[in-house]
Amino acid sequence: MAKLYAAYQIDEASREKLLSVFKPKYPDVIAHHITHKYGAGPEDVPPLPEHVRVVGYHDSGAIQVLVVDIDGKRNQVTPPDAPKKFYHITLSLDRSQGVSPSKSNGVLQAIAAEKGEAAVYNLPEPVEISAVPRLLLDPPSFAEAMEEAKKILSHKTAGPNGVIAYAVVNDEKKRADGVIEPFFNPQSDKPLHLAYAFFESNHVGIPVITAPGGTQDLTVTHLVTGEVMNVQLSKEKSLKEALQAIQADVPGEKNLDKLERYTVAKLIEKGWRVEIEDSFTTAVREAKEEQGIDLTLPGSYIGAPMQFDRPAITKRTIDRVENLHRAKLFDIRDANDLGDVLKIAAHIREAAPPGIEPDAMQRLFAIQVPGFSSVELADSGEKIEDKIRGREGCTYTEKGTFVTLARMEEQLNEALQRAKAEEDKGNSFAGREIVANLERLNIYRRIEACIVSNLQAQGLDVTTAVSSFVIADSPDAIDTEHAGTAGLPVGLKNRIRRTAQKSPGL
């Protein structure tokens, strides 16, 4: 990251005066500032000086240095145990000889050590100039910035992060806005089950219900001005807009991973502090944007966030993961803000299954909420597609919805039949989305089994259609026809079958 330093910046008239009195001898002319303190913050910027005087001049054969007196003071602010540094101006230097402005003080220290400090101040008459206190940047090289960018982006998860917000319900009612809301009715003798705040999108031409999820955002803050920008990862438009905002070259790069690294490196090089959202913050933000459920409000959750890492939901590790989540239960009914939840989520994160890299996976957080009565479901209105290649510019809508997994399966079966008509019209995206949703439904079923197991352990008689994790021993054990694939094109049916084979238990 770029370093900050407090300095006196020489005004243009004074710079011209210096270049006239002390003729630059070397090709790289600087004459820009007088460092006051390196590694500084806003609180270290000195007051406006009354007198700034050049009181010494030295030429090492590769660098010209001017020694400065500022209101009677001649030394930079340094740590108590550090060598003395002189106020100075690097006038010019020859970088081809391997010198840089940072060598200027060494020239003066060598003279003081050999001839005494008085020899540093060798001008018979001082030269008066003007300089203004500033907080300045010492930017890293692009290569250094790129290495830092790689470290920052190593904390990016491999897939979308989302919240599965669920409530224990046994009845439903129609709200004033026409939405069917599941709720808990203590007078009802109907069995307890789970309902979810999901969202419905038709971004591939047919409506599909799924849990919200999104990639992490970057928060970037300029080290000097304090200006803040939000940059969306995995979104070409947002990345290039950030480059334009900082007046950096915008490449024609289409590979998103490379474009992300380049953008972050350029931000760092230009003096921006870059911070990546943690996966839980991303999930909570997406829940607000896509569902309309605000998990930052006090009392908006009553159970521990259970973390599910996507690569861990496999036949090989499912028992280990199930036991992990059963063991890591936290009562956060007394938590008053999102920070408390984040601490708990961080603790769960440390307990990731052996062999699974915590930051190399999609992350889903299942959070129990008191109910849905206060939820104002999000409705995006009409949006323009800018993520799916081939559908750029198409309009679509997104809106929050309440749903059980049984209802989600019904909707998926209906969508499968519509996918055939969409493929006949040349829309292959619909079929691919259904295949992806089949896999998601299987994941949600497994997560529900974990949730119900935990609730039952707490004494709640909650029912579910998913009694346990169903692991098929071979692809032959999987029946895809029950999912409504009859009559679909062979290509689409095969894609569904392959997905089912990868995600047994459908």
Tell me: the pLDDT tens digits for 233-280? 888 889 999 999 999 999 987 788 899 999 999 999 999 999 998 888
| Domain match, 129 and 70 both | yes
| Domain match, 404 and 465 both | yes
pLDDT digits (tens, 9 = 90+) for 170-192: 999 999 888 899 999 999 999 99
Q: Print the SS3 string covering 233-279.
A: CCCHHHHHHHHHHCCCCCCCCCCHHHHHHHHHHHHHHCCEEEEECCH
CA distance 58 to 64: 6
Nearest to 418 by CA among 407, 403, 402, 429: 429
| Domain match, 345 and 396 both | yes
| Domain match, 171 and 223 both | no
pTM: 0.67
| Domain match, 258 and 286 both | no
| Domain match, 243 and 119 both | no
Q: First CA to last CA across the chain, in angstroms?
A: 48
- Residue 265: which residues within 8 A CB-CB, separation 6 or more? 142, 145, 146, 148, 149
> Given this model, what pLDDT does residue 275 score?
93
pLDDT digits (tens, 9 = 90+) for 346-405: 444 444 444 444 444 567 888 889 999 988 898 877 766 666 555 666 777 888 899 999
Query: Coil, helix or strand for 399?
Result: strand
Query: Residue 144 domain-assigned?
Result: no
Query: Coil, helix or strand for 489?
Result: coil
Q: Which of 254, 276, 298 is the last residue of a domain?
A: 276
Domain that holds residue 226: 217-276
| Domain match, 359 and 438 both | yes
| Domain match, 270 and 408 both | no
Query: Residue 155 domain-assigned?
Result: no
Domain count, the chain: 3
Residue 69 burial (CB count, 10 A): 18
Indicate the pairing of strand 228-232 with strand 193-201. Answer: unpaired
Q: Which of 276, 297, 318 is the last residue of a domain?
A: 276
Nearest to 70 by CA among 137, 9, 16, 3: 9
Query: Residue 142 domain-assigned?
Result: no
> Given this model, what pLDDT does residue 492 score?
40
Q: What is the mean pLDDT of residues 126-132?
A: 95
| Domain match, 336 and 369 both | yes
| Domain match, 179 and 300 both | yes
Query: Residue 141 domain-assigned?
Result: no
- Residue 108: which residues within 8 A CB-CB, separation 6 or more? 56, 58, 65, 67, 86, 88, 120
Query: Residue 265 domain-assigned?
Result: yes
| Domain match, 266 and 291 both | no
pLDDT digits (tens, 9 = 90+) for 20-33: 999 999 999 999 99
> Given this model, what pLDDT does residue 270 score?
92
Q: Which of 252, 276, 300 is the last residue of a domain?
A: 276
Query: Residue 85 domain-assigned?
Result: yes
| Domain match, 356 and 371 both | yes
- Residue 359: which residues within 8 A CB-CB, separation 6 or more? 154, 155, 156, 157, 279
